[in-house]
Amino acid sequence: MEKLNISDEQFYNLVKMLNASVEDGNVALATINNVDFNKNLCKILLLHKLSNNPNAWSDKNNMRLWRFMVKVKNGSDDGDPLSWNAIFKMLLLAKVPATDIQFFFDVFKEKLFNSIADMGYRDLISSVDIKLIFNENKQNRNLSESI
């Protein structure tokens, strides 16, 4: 059976499901369990980060996903979400495409903006923008070599 790829729209729907009811979260985890982990590394790590219940990811009903997350977290299944920095480093080590790195920063900037707004500074900041711009002579290099 061919493994699925997570579109941007599906990503945001899965975030909502993971943070809704237990049943919705279980459906989201079952869906994630059936994606191509290598092609969706960025989105899987971000889904884990954004899940209100990262402990649910260690459910043995999703054994393939559980094993993958233990491997990603260097043998730990403590349920703690990964830090933004840890996710970024993993993406660079995995040499994911630049589009995945940009997606990571798009999600990060949304969370950053919401955090700033939640601290009472909504009126001071209209947006946060993080955009990757490649030098012409280096755009063919591997992203992890450029940074």
Do 25 and 76 share a structural domain? yes
Closest CA to 102 of 46, 28, 50, 140: 46
Expressed as residue numbers, the domain containing 114 is 96-147
Is 127 contained in some domain? yes
Tens place of pLDDT per residue across the chain (147 aa): 578 899 999 999 999 999 998 899 989 998 998 899 889 999 999 998 998 877 777 766 677 777 777 777 765 555 566 789 888 988 988 889 989 999 999 999 999 888 888 888 878 888 778 777 766 655 444 444 443
The dihedral region occupied by 75, where left means phi > 0, alpha psi between -120 and 50, and beta the remainder, is: left
Alpha-carbon span 96 to 77, nearest angstrom = 24
Alpha-carbon span 90 to 27, nearest angstrom = 26
Is 91 contained in some domain? no
Q: How many domains does the chain have?
A: 2
Token pair belonging to 52 = 């209100």
